[in-house]
């Protein structure tokens, strides 16, 4: 009896499979006949059926994408719960329906495994946090009104940084900024945790940075809402790198002795400007490549030949454009050595002692994605002062196409070490 039941069941299953196959075949044949008949109909009738076909196809695509989206989100939940094998199956099914479903889904928040959250785009409880600083301060404020900046994740016998007083922690942050005003490092430090984010937004740090850049001209932060906004938005020169310009031209050489040919020379040289927060600046003109020259401009104590040292100031004229005025000259020791060498090899009377200073005017602007990364020449002159008579001779140079703009290049080694705190 058991065998006959099994045979009967098997016969029934085989019959059901055959019926299913027959029904599928009949459906395919019906669809083929309908399509064939629509093609045989007159053109006017075909035009009427085109919109219906397009609407049907669009609805099918929307339904397919919705199903793929549902499977993909289910796979994300399974993966978050640790069921990797199940997640792979759902991922595969979703991508079979819509291959690029991963890029069609946008997430408004991450799931919370503790409460079984899911990746949902539309959530009425989610809202944009306007003031992140106030939000973090409220989260870290304890019941007694004190603020706990950070806590260790694991128990340890070592002293955690959260045990330090707030004043000591802020002093460490001033060392991070350093006297070179490396505010980029301060912003990176704020990404560690909520407590560090609060410390990095301390108004006193940003106020000190603004005073170092603009001096007494920034006693009030109006029209800006904060000292940080002033430092980021107000035009200024940058200190974590060097401004570089490349000039190249072709000049005619001397004619050969036989007059058969004349040589042409391609000349290339670079100008470098390195600014410091204390108002000092270094300027160098050399044919050497930046890979060789830039490391030598890290310190103000550089002994490289032809470097000119001086000071600069920022000025905002009536046209609301920020200009940088630079006055540089060679060090007096180098001038004395050069004059001694000339008088040593020349028997004639040496030239009267004179001091040479170069005055440079530049317009600060922004180009591309970076801010305040471009300096355009507007003035260049040489002032020669004779010590014996006190007379000053000014020679102004024509600012033409040979004065190419200087563009900023960030140099990581300039802010790799901190010599003094802010």
Q: Distance between CA atoms of 179 and 168, rounded to whole angstroms?
A: 18
**Cα–chain center distance at 235:** 18
Asked if 78 and 169 sit in the same domain, the reply is: no
Asked if 292 and 404 sit in the same domain, the reply is: yes
Say if residues 115 and 92 touch (Cβ distance below 8 Å).
no
In a domain, 173, yes or no: yes
Task: Give the residue from 168, 202, 233 where a domain finishes.
Answer: 233
Asked if 372 and 256 sit in the same domain, the reply is: yes
In a domain, 228, yes or no: yes
Nearest 10 degrees: Cα torsion 205, 418, 412, 215: 40
Asked if 88 and 145 sit in the same domain, the reply is: no
H helix or E strand, kind and range, residue 274: strand 262-275
Residue 375 is encoded by which pair of tokens? 């300096």
In order, the DSSP letters of 352-388 are PPEEEEEEEEEEEEEETTEEEEEEEEEEEEEEEEETT
Asked if 183 and 264 sit in the same domain, the reply is: no
Number of domains in the chain: 3
Asked if 266 and 373 sit in the same domain, the reply is: yes
Asked if 260 and 217 sit in the same domain, the reply is: no
Per-residue pLDDT of the chain (422 residues; tens, 9 = 90+): 444 444 444 444 445 455 556 666 777 777 777 777 766 665 444 444 556 777 778 888 888 888 888 888 888 888 888 888 888 888 888 888 888 887 777 655 444 444 444 444 444 444 455 577 777 777 777 655 566 777 777 777 888 888 888 888 889 999 999 888 888 899 898 888 888 888 888 889 998 888 888 887 777 777 888 888 888 888 889 998 999 998 888 888 777 777 777 788 888 889 999 999 888 999 999 999 889 888 888 888 887 778 999 999 888 765 678 889 999 988 766 555 555 555 555 555 555 578 889 999 999 988 777 888 889 999 999 998 888 888 888 888 888 888 889 999 989 888 888 888 87
Asked if 281 and 399 sit in the same domain, the reply is: yes
Asked if 389 and 259 sit in the same domain, the reply is: yes
In a domain, 367, yes or no: yes
Asked if 210 and 229 sit in the same domain, the reply is: yes
In a domain, 36, yes or no: no
In a domain, 127, yes or no: no
Residue 186's closest CA among 242, 228, 147, 243? 228
Q: Distance between CA atoms of 296 and 310, rounded to whole angstroms?
A: 17
Say if residues 364 and 235 touch (Cβ distance below 8 Å).
yes
Bridge partners, residue 323, by sequence: 315, 363
Asked if 70 and 143 sit in the same domain, the reply is: no
In a domain, 47, yes or no: no
Bridge partners, residue 316, by sequence: 322
In a domain, 206, yes or no: yes
Say if residues 136 and 147 touch (Cβ distance below 8 Å).
no
Task: Give the residue from 185, 206, 233 where a domain finishes.
Answer: 233
Structural domain span for residue 75: 63-104
Asked if 379 and 249 sit in the same domain, the reply is: yes
Say if residues 297 and 274 touch (Cβ distance below 8 Å).
yes
H helix or E strand, kind and range, residue 93: helix 84-97
């Amino acid at each position: 009896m058991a065998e006959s039941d099994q045979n009967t069941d098997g016969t029934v299953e085989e019959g059901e499979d055959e019926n299913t196959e027959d029904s599928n075949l009949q459906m395919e044949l019906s669809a083929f006949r309908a399509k064939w008949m629509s093609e045989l109909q007159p053109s006017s009738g075909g035009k009427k059926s085109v919109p219906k076909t397009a609407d049907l196809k669009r609805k099918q695509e929307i339904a397919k994408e919705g199903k793929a989206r549902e499977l993909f989100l289910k796979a994300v939940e399974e993966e978050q719960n640790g069921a990797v094998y199940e997640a792979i199956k759902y991922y595969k099914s979703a991508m079979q329906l819509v291959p690029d479903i991963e890029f069609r889904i946008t997430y408004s928040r991450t799931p919370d495994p503790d409460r079984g959250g899911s990746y949902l785009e539309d959530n009425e409880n989610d809202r944009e946090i306007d003031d992140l600083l106030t939000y973090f301060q409220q989260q870290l404020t304890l019941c007694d009104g004190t603020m706990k900046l950070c806590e260790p994740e694991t128990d340890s016998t070592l002293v955690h940084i959260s045990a330090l007083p707030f004043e000591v922690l802020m002093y460490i942050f001033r060392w991070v900024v350093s006297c070179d005003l490396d505010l980029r490092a301060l912003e990176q430090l704020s990404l560690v945790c909520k407590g560090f984010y609060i410390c990095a937004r301390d108004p006193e740090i940003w106020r000190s940075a603004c005073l170092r850049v603009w001096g007494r001209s920034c006693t009030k932060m109006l029209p800006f809402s904060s000292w940080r906004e002033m430092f980021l938005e107000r035009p200024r020169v940058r200190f974590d790198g060097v401004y570089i310009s490349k000039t190249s031209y072709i000049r005619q050489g001397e004619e050969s002795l036989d007059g058969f040919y004349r040589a042409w020379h391609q000349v290339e040289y670079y100008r470098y400007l390195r600014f410091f927060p204390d108002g000092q600046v270094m300027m160098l003109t050399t044919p050497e490549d930046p890979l060789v020259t830039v490391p030598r401009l890290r310190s103000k104590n550089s002994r490289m030949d032809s470097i000119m040292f001086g000071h600069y100031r920022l000025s905002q004229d009536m046209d609301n454009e920020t200009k940088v005025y630079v006055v540089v000259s060679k060090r007096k020791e180098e001038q004395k050595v050069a004059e001694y060498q000339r008088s040593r090899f020349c028997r004639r009377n040496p030239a009267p002692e004179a001091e040479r200073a170069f005055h440079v005017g530049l317009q600060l602007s922004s180009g591309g994605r970076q801010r305040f990364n471009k300096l355009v020449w507007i003035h260049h002159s040489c002032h020669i002062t004779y010590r014996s008579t006190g007379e000053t001779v000014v020679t102004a140079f024509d600012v033409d196409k040979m004065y190419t703009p200087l563009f900023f290049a960030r140099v990581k080694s300039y802010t790799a070490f901190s010599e003094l705190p802010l």
